[in-house]
Amino acid sequence: MGKILEVNNLKTSFFTHLGEVQAVRGSSFSMNEGDILGIVGESGSGKSVTAMSIIGLVEEPGKIKEGSVIFDNRDLTNLSESELSELRGNEIAMIFQDPMTSLNPVFTIKNLMIEVIQRHTDMNKKEALKHAIYMLDLVGIPEAGTRINSYPHQFSGGMRQRVMIATALSCNPKLLIADEPTTALDVTIQAQILELLLRLKDETNTSIILITHDLGVIAEVCTDIIVMYGGMMMEKGTVDEIFYKPNHPYTNGLHSSVPHIVSGKRERLIPIEGSPPDLMKPPAGCPFSPRCPHAMQICKEEAAPMFRLSDTHTSACWLLHKDAPEVEGYIKGGNQDD
């Protein structure tokens, strides 16, 4: 399995009238073919902007300030707009949170899908239609041959999201970026969509980046996880590492603030006190330090580097430094990751 994507020290800011909003402040990660990478974080943590930066959809006044995005041996941050639009929908596809607003209401599903397919392949209209119907069938739209003539408003939310997925996968992309694909849907429909994503991944070997705030969805689908907070990566590891051996106070805080369904006694939730940082004036050190129960002096002054815990597991917390005081539940990290 080769490396499909490598993001190095990505920094994206929005230059607004009120000042610079530092949405992403140095993300670095890579993913292999066939991985499902989950990016989890709260609103404003920079998870969507990371995805938008990868696919080159950061719009004015936003700008990628620094860093590179290597996809298929090309640095996407250096590509021109026309080169990028050649890539988008073809090699990298994206599905958005809101299936209600991300399909154009004045076109039929047929128009929408054929346009995408013809844009990126040399199929004629008839072949494209056949392929579109095949894709709709694949995502479980009943009577795809007739339903393809419908307009988006004639579909329910779950079906619209299926249409989005069918369109996104119609050109067989190497990478699919799904930004909160199930957040707007009901749980029973969410279960259908997640199952569909997993099945399609197995059939097409597409790599997926899944952005969500829902730890349950992450646990169900992903192979690897990045935890983001205040525009920075807090922890990164395999799904088992992040869930069973979390080694960052923010990750721990997230775990204990969601209820775990157990019968019998009602356990009190342990919330993270305080509120997320203002990215216009981010805290000098670790963005989580104002809310962290273990914050030390250094946390307020300097953001922690990524400490290595295993080949796949890294965490940006000063508690992992060899000179830090022992805190129960936290293991000292190995070599610093640059």
Partner 1 sequence: MTEKKNDANANVENEYMLEVRNLKKHFNVSNSVLKKNRKILTAVDGIDFYIKKGETFGLVGESGCGKSTTGRTIIKLYQPTDGQIIFEGRDITNLPAKQMLPFRKRMQMIFQDPYASLNGRMTVTDIIGEGIDTHRLYTGKQRQERIYDLLHTVGLKSEHANRYPHEFSGGQRQRIGIARALAVEPDFIICDEPISALDVSIQAQVVNMLDDLQDDMGLTYLFIAHDLSMVKHISDRIGVMYIGKLMEVCGSDELYDNPLHPYTQALLSAIPIPDPKLTRSQKRIILEGDVRSPINPTEGCRFSSRCRYCKEICENVTPEIEEARPEHFIACHRYKEINGLV
Residues near partner 1 (CB under 8 A): 42-43, 156, 186-192, 194-195, 213-220, 239-240, 243-244, 253-261, 263-264, 266, 268-273, 275-276
What is the residue-wise DSSP string for 162-173? Answer: HHHHHHHHTT--
Question: Least distance from C-beta 311 to partner 1, angstroms?
Answer: 19
Q: State which residue, 9 or 312, has the beta carbon closest to partner 1.
A: 312
Q: Which two tokens stand for residue 115?
A: 């346009």
Q: State which residue, 70 or 219, has the beta carbon closest to partner 1.
A: 219
Collapsing DSSP states into helix, strand and coil, what is residue 38? strand
Q: State which residue, 19 or 216, has the beta carbon closest to partner 1.
A: 216
Question: Least distance from C-beta 133 to partner 1, angstroms?
Answer: 20
Own/partner contacts of 190-193, CB < 8 Å, gap of 24 or more, are 190/217, 192/140, 192/158, 193/158, 193/161, 193/162, 193/165
Q: State which residue, 20 or 214, has the beta carbon closest to partner 1.
A: 214
Gap between the Cα atoms of 40 and 45, Å rounded: 9
Q: State which residue, 126 or 266, has the beta carbon closest to partner 1.
A: 266
Mention every residue, 6+ apart, whose C-beta is less than 8 A from residue 101. Answer: none
What percent helix, strand, coil does the chain show, rounded to 5?
35, 25, 40
End-to-end CA distance of the chain: 25
Question: Least distance from C-beta 59 to partner 1, angstroms?
Answer: 23
Question: Least distance from C-beta 51 to partner 1, angstroms?
Answer: 18
Question: Least distance from C-beta 69 to partner 1, angstroms?
Answer: 27
Q: State which residue, 219 or 327, has the beta carbon closest to partner 1.
A: 219
Mention every residue, 6+ apart, whose C-beta is less than 8 A from residue 259. Answer: 267, 269
As a dihedral over the C-alpha atoms of residue 117, residue 152, residue 211, residue 140, rounded to 10 degrees, the angle is -70
Question: Least distance from C-beta 192 to partner 1, angstroms?
Answer: 6
